[in-house]
């Protein structure tokens, strides 16, 4: 292992932990609102970059590169939607969700759903679905971290994994949402510098963008097509639309991401945050896919496509800069994993433990219960990650498809449709999750060429509308909820 790579990694970890300690002091972590939402004092820049850093996981450095390497420019369909994910999220639900969550006194994205769609069943269904699927999402991050660090440092996989998980736990444990948000800010910048550096190195090595594409064409011209290598995705519009939707409107259904709206300083923070979000995405999102595509020329005989970006960095960059790229990869992984750990800890403690087991728990007790649960989830995740489940790309696409399908109509209709009621929300969550899950697990997506995200969102949206309309008389929303929704909608 190159000492300079180690120096960069250690430096990166030290800075991340230092920010976590600073944020722990600033974030008043003894109050539950301080621990879970940073006291709702998060400005536009931090909101935008924590949203983006959370949404862009280790998937971007392992999964995106892998898809580019295997399929060529077809992979850019995912990036095409992803660039607009932040602005769609913030412009559609950002301001109204911030205002409604404050009016309803909601401190977690699952509690918000129960307050908006009043019923213990809402929280039970939403909490259980979220914990189950976020666990797999965080598992993918652990695997990505372990693989990446093991490759670059030469450490055994178990040790690399242990270090990555330990650091994530440490600063999530220290400062709650504030630590997560401010370390995300730093990590988003590290991710940006890391990927742009390697992207630039690829262009220099290949003689520019046009020369790179000409070299790819000489290997196989179908890599340059929007239909994928061998044109295997030709006219698969159901799959293509799902690829665009999953990371554009899909964000609005991810409980660990929409929490960012609830923590904003003001509802109008969403406006400026949307601009920062788009700027960051324009610079970042396409680059990992393109580096994966360039790797077709630079390293044509890779045995593990998920390591394409790391291998390209190792080939083209001096050790010091490779260290920066590795830090960027760890930043992408850790910025997502810490948010998920905090979110699952919150849901398990506040939305399930306090709600159903110990209603009289104090704020301070809840903070500690949440912290203990973060440790438990991380330990179980670490142990499962040792068995190396499927590739990062497939796990992330599977998890985000199910989460987006389950929750997207619930979060959107919460602020845009007054007639959306509790039976509609529960039917939408269960129906959407089940449809996307079965569609993928049973292989129907391959047989029909329809992306599970597309089918899942259509199912959950239809269920929300039909069931809500059919049950308006038997399950009307309470007047206080209607008044709160009206107040949140009254802003223009």
Partner 1 sequence: MFGLPLTTTLLVFGFPLAWVIYTAVFFYRSRSWPRDETDAD
| CA atoms in the 13 A half-sphere facing the CB of 78 | 28
CA distance 277 to 45: 8
SS3 42: strand
Asked whether position 360 contacts partner 1 by CB under 8 A, the answer is no
- Taking the C-alpha atoms of residue 247 and residue 80, their distance in angstroms, rounded to an integer, is 9
Can you state the angle between helices 308-316 and 157-206, rounded to 10 degrees?
Answer: 60
Q: Using the minimum distance from each CB to partner 1, give the nearer residue, 77 or 182.
A: 77
**483 contributes a contact to partner 1 by CB under 8 A:** no
Bridge partners (DSSP) listed for residue 42: 264
Residue 278 beta carbon to partner 1: minimum distance, rounded to whole angstroms: 4
Contact window for partner 1 (CB under 8 A) among 210-218, 323-331, 385-393, 475-483:
210-218
Residues facing 264 on adjacent strands: 42
155 binds partner 1, rule: CB under 8 A = no
275 touching partner 1, by CB under 8 A: yes
* Apex 448 CA angle, 447 and 454, nearest 5: 130
Contact 484, 104 (CB under 8 A): yes
Q: Examine residue 492 and tell whether it contacts partner 1 (CB under 8 A).
A: yes
> What span, in angstroms and rounded, lies between the C-alpha atoms of 176 and 107?
13
φ, ψ for residue 52 (rounded to 5)? -70, -45
Exactly one of 226, 361, 430, 465 binds partner 1 (CB under 8 A); that residue is 226
Asked if 337 is part of the footprint of partner 1 (rule: CB under 8 A), the reply reads no
Q: Which residue from 84, 253, 381, 431 is in contact with partner 1, where contact means CB under 8 A?
A: 84
Q: Which of 158, 204, 209, 376 binds partner 1 (CB under 8 A)?
A: 209
- Residue in this structure with the two tokens 């990036």, named with its chain if needed: 79
Distance CA 15, CA 35 (A): 21
Angstrom distance (rounded) from CA 445 to CA 451: 6
427 binding partner 1? (CB under 8 A): no
- Listed in sequence order, the residues at least 6 apart from 323 whose beta carbon sits closer than 8 Å to its beta carbon are 2, 4, 5, 6, 7, 8, 9
Q: Does 52 bind partner 1 (CB under 8 A)?
A: no
Q: Which residue has the tokens 């109008």?
A: 268
Question: Least distance in Å: CB of 76 to partner 1?
Answer: 5
Gap between the Cα atoms of 206 and 219, Å rounded:
14
What sections of 27-156 are H helices per DSSP?
A: 32-37, 44-55, 63-71, 76-82, 85-89, 95-104, 109-116, 120-153
> Which range of residues in 203-211, 356-364, 428-436, 473-481 is near partner 1 by CB under 8 A?
203-211
Q: In this chain, which stretch among 48-56, 83-91, 418-426, 433-441 interacts with partner 1, using CB under 8 A?
A: 83-91
Would you count residue 482 as binding partner 1 (CB under 8 A)? no
Question: C-beta of 222: minimal distance to partner 1 in Å?
Answer: 10
Q: Which of 155, 193, 224, 470 binds partner 1 (CB under 8 A)?
A: 224
> Residues 22, 33, 102, 315: which binds partner 1 (CB under 8 A)?
102
Stretch that binds partner 1, among 74-82, 113-121, 127-135, 420-428 (CB under 8 A): 74-82
- Least distance to partner 1 from the beta carbon of 103, Å? 7
Distance of CA 97 to the CA centre of its chain: 18
Distance separating alpha carbons of residues 384 and 468, to the nearest angstrom: 39
CB of 244 to partner 1, least distance (A): 8
Name the token pair of 446: 């391959």
196 binds partner 1 (CB under 8 A): no
Residues in the chain: 492
User: Residues touching partner 1: how many (CB under 8 A)?
Assistant: 40
Write down the least CB distance from residue 85 to partner 1, Å: 9
Specify whether the CB–CB gap between 48 and 276 falls below 8 A. yes
Q: Which is nearer to partner 1, 139 or 488 (CB)?
A: 488
In the set 9, 24, 64, 76, which binds partner 1 (CB under 8 A)? 76
Among 52, 278, 322, 461, binds partner 1 (CB under 8 A): 278
* Coil, helix or strand at residue 264: strand
CA distance 90 to 42: 14
Between CA 118 and CA 477 the distance in angstroms is: 8
Least separation in angstroms between CB 275 and partner 1: 6
Residue span 233-272 as binding mask against partner 1, x where in contact by CB under 8 A, dash where not: ---------------------------------xxx-xx-
Residue 293 CA to its chain's centroid (Å): 23
Among 6, 80, 196, 386, binds partner 1 (CB under 8 A): 80
Q: Does 104 bind partner 1 (CB under 8 A)?
A: no
Does residue 218 belong to the site contacting partner 1 (CB under 8 A)? Answer: no
Min dist. Cβ of residue 211 to partner 1 (A): 8
Q: Which residues contact partner 1 (rule: CB under 8 A)?
A: 73, 76-77, 79-81, 83-84, 87-88, 91, 95, 98-99, 102-103, 209-214, 217, 224-226, 266-268, 270-271, 274-275, 278, 281-282, 286, 487, 491-492
């Amino acid at each position: 292992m190159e000492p300079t790579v180690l120096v960069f990694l250690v430096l990166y970890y030290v800075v991340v932990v230092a920010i976590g300690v600073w944020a722990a002091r600033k974030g008043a972590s003894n109050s539950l609102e301080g621990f879970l939402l940073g006291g709702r004092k998060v400005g536009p820049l931090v909101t935008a970059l924590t949203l983006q850093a959370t949404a862009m996981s280790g998937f971007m450095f392992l999964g995106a590169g892998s898809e580019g390497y295997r399929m060529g420019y077809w992979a850019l369909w995912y990036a095409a939607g992803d660039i607009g994910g932040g602005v769609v999220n913030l412009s559609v639900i950002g301001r109204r969700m911030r205002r409604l969550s404050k009016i309803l006194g909601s401190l977690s994205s699952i509690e918000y759903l129960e307050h908006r769609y009043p019923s213990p069943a809402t929280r039970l269904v939403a909490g259980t679905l979220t914990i189950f699927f976020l666990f797999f999402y965080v598992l993918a991050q652990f695997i990505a971290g372990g693989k990446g660090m093991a490759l670059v440092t030469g450490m055994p996989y178990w040790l690399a994994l242990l270090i990555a998980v330990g650091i994530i736990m440490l600063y999530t444990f220290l400062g709650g949402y504030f630590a997560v948000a401010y370390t995300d800010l730093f990590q988003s910048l590290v991710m940006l510098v890391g990927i742009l550096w390697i992207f630039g190195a690829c262009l220099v090595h290949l003689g520019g963008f046009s020369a790179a594409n000409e070299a790819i064409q000489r290997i196989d011209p179908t890599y340059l097509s929007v239909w994928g290598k061998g044109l295997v995705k030709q006219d698969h519009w159901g799959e293509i639309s799902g690829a665009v939707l999953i990371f554009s409107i899909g964000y609005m259904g991810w409980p660990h991401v929409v929490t960012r709206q609830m923590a904003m300083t003001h509802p109008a923070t969403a406006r400026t945050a949307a601009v920062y979000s788009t700027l960051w995405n324009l610079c970042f999102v396409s680059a990992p896919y393109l580096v994966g595509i360039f790797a077709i020329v630079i390293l044509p005989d890779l045995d593990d496509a998920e390591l394409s970006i790391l291998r390209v960095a190792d080939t083209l960059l001096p050790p010091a800069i490779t260290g920066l790229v590795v830090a960027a990869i760890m930043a992408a992984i850790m910025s997502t994993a810490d948010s998920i750990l905090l979110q699952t800890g919150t849901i398990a403690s506040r939305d399930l433990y306090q709600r159903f087991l110990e209603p009289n728990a104090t704020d301070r007790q809840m903070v500690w219960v949440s912290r203990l649960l973060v440790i438990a989830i991380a330990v179980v995740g670490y142990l499962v990650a040792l068995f190396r489940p499927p590739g990062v790309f497939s796990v992330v696409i599977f998890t985000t498809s199910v989460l987006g399908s389950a929750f997207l109509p619930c979060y959107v209709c919460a602020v845009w449709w007054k007639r959306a009621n509790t039976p509609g929300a529960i039917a939408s969550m269960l129906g959407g999750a089940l449809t996307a899950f079965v569609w993928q697990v049973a292989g129907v997506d391959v047989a029909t060429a329809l992306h599970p995200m597309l089918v899942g969102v259509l199912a959950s949206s239809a269920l929300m509308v039909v069931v809500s309309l059919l049950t308006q008389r038997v399950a009307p929303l309470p007047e206080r909820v209607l008044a709160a929704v009206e107040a949140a909608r009254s802003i223009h």
